[in-house]
Chains A and B, each alone.
Chain A
């Protein structure tokens, strides 16, 4: 497989693997939790490395995913105390964990190739460089296989729990009445998000993972009214943006993941502009009383 095709495939697979669970993250209003999880990856990897002493060990991914889950559960616990408002719980936990990670790196592993810079920035082209060989013949980028695995797990989870996930996303109270163990389901889902973020950061960088996970579903949500439509649109946008972003970055000689993030941003801006134009055209004066009252705050006038 040629380098360019391998890298494009890696970009596409990573994008879809992130965007699919991302659709539910957006609908559950947990988008900024991805930001928090992605920063917890660093301490997770550092501790994983301290235990295994092997930078390529798959246990590192598990350690990082557990650290991500720690952020989720920790901020949920802080929120449940009722002593904090808004999104402060998340914003409190992840910088502290990230700081622990940075301090551990500088104190313990200054001589190892474990660079905070690499964790945050990531490079798809570097990730695609290492080839999986079969009998001495390079077949595909090794990392492509990892991301294909993550994609398969995500698709399997979403397919298996689709009705339950849909219900607990849109009507959590009703889901609980029906006897769905939404607490367990939520935790399992967040663990999956954590694993996906961890696996993808190598290709995308911890911060641009957020773009991969949130921007395509957010764009799809602007353009759709039903969940299946939204999911299909999410995949289409993720794939289209990945291919176009990769070639734009290739042409500009820039980092692939950054190019993809900016391209997703452009698609989002286009969808945002379109939805505003469409809405304005549909906004005809309605008969008195039929109009839904909008709270003052939402209009912000």
Chain B
């Protein structure tokens, strides 16, 4: 009782939680926890608004040497189902986005050994030249380029920034605990490398998001460890602008199993809001949770509805197919009692 009382006092004051206190959040009932996260959200984002970005996902290749066991999207090099996006296809996708009034592209792809560095630079430049922002390349892709082209991380980043890269998505973090990574994605960058790319990007002035994919082999302690690694780096660099937790979708993956449900998703969302006191925004994952739980998530600490995506291929490959239009996002936000506002990938209101 003494511990929960002091936790209650700390939550009420909004002071920083220790590792032990963060783990103690699981002892709270779901709604008490959610309410504390909502109060923390109002301290950090007092405006009664929920932001979202009009963008599209573009996956430039599905060929990937990483072979992660949680992924249903990738194809091995040489697979007849592999593809690499060319300039003409990219131009069509950019035109579609502009017709929708989009502001930027979420650009991500596999670790494809057949691409040249020029390919990546040209991708970024073509998007930038079309007048759209480039939110591109998760740390695993940046680390891959650095190794593959024998360039220091800062050189890779500098050349991509010069071509027009404006922010980096937080994908590929999965769980930042190497015991788990060794089992689910042994060929992907380890947690230290992931954080190193983010630190380098932040120091070069890029804003980035961070993600967490949970509900597979990780323990509760490892989820908390993940959050603390993000919080510690953020104390040093201040470059994380948002955090996006989402649940592993087992359909079509080697790992398999049953997906986590809504209650644990909302619990993690709330815990994230309370632990990550230095990350400004928390994003719902409607693509994995569906519109109803995404709407409820706005009461569990989230202040951002993510993006319109236009196309989403990676989660869709697991058979989970939620889709929302811009109008649907706005309606969900309004009916939850908030004002919907369009932002760009750097969270500037438009």
- The finding on whether chains A and B are genuine partners in a shared complex, rather than unrelated, reads no
Q: Which residues of B contact A (CB under 8 A)?
A: none
